[in-house]
């Protein structure tokens, strides 16, 4: 049974100054998927974000990178989802994950926001429905919760960035598995991956 995922969202902060920061790891997934499928993401003011569309495994998949700030991501997601009548359980949100070391990525369905402001806003703008899929791109943790804000808005050192890029690359391959074969197969593959 395939998953009917119709929207893939990559969370980020807008603007060049944030483009290479850890908090934008979710957007890197969408950018890579667009690149692989040779699709250009275009600014769409109606949805407060960059949008694109791919057909993969016979499924029509919309791509979205909100161009709101992270803590307003839900405004963009809700605008597009409402327009195309996409339910929360048909959405996959890729985001940065502090609680895992760089080089790892995990799929998950539902759950809380874990303190992530982008997820928090999406949940609230989708009528407190938490049933969307998540793709957690690990960025590691600074070791002190008071340093988190600066950490996620900073650039990863080259070695960490290589590991994150490898995890993004593998995640994009596993999205295909997710669409074709469902969540548990995609999890089996992605969760056994660890970039070295």
Query: Do β-strands 91-97 and 7-10 pair in parallel, antiparallel, or remain unpaired?
Result: parallel
Active site residue 191: no
Per the structure block, which two tokens stand in for 5?
């995922």
Distance (Å, rounded) from C-alpha 137 to C-alpha 104? 7
Catalytic residue among 23, 37, 116, 191: 23
Is there a contact between 6 and 80 (Cβ–Cβ < 8 Å)? no
Q: Where are the alpha helices (DSSP H) in 84-157?
A: 117-125, 148-152
DSSP code of 156? P
Distance (Å, rounded) from C-alpha 79 to C-alpha 44? 11
User: How many H-runs (helices) and E-runs (strands) does the chain carry?
Assistant: 6, 7
Which residues are the active-site residues? 23
């Amino acid at each position: 049974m395939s998953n009917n995922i119709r929207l893939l969202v990559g969370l980020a902060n807008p603007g060049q100054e944030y483009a290479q920061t850890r908090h934008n790891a979710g957007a890197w997934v969408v950018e890579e998927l667009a690149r692989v499928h040779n699709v250009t993401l275009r600014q769409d003011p109606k949805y407060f974000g960059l949008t694109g569309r791919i057909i993969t495994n016979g499924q029509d998949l919309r791509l979205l990178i909100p161009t709101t700030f992270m803590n307003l991501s839900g405004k963009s997601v809700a605008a597009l989802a409402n327009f195309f009548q996409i339910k929360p359980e048909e959405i996959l949100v890729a985001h940065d994950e502090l609680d895992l070391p760089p080089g790892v990525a995990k799929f998950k369905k539902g759950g809380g926001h874990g303190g992530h402001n982008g997820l928090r806003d999406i949940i609230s703008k989708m009528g407190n429905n938490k049933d969307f899929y998540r793709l957690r791109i690990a960025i590691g943790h600074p070791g002190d919760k008071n340093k988190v804000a600066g950490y996620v808005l900073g650039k990863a050192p080259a070695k960490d960035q290589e590991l994150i890029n490898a995890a993004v690359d593998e995640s994009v391959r596993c999205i295909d598995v997710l669409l074709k074969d469902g969540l548990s197969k995609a999890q089996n593959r992605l969760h056994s991956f660890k970039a070295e």
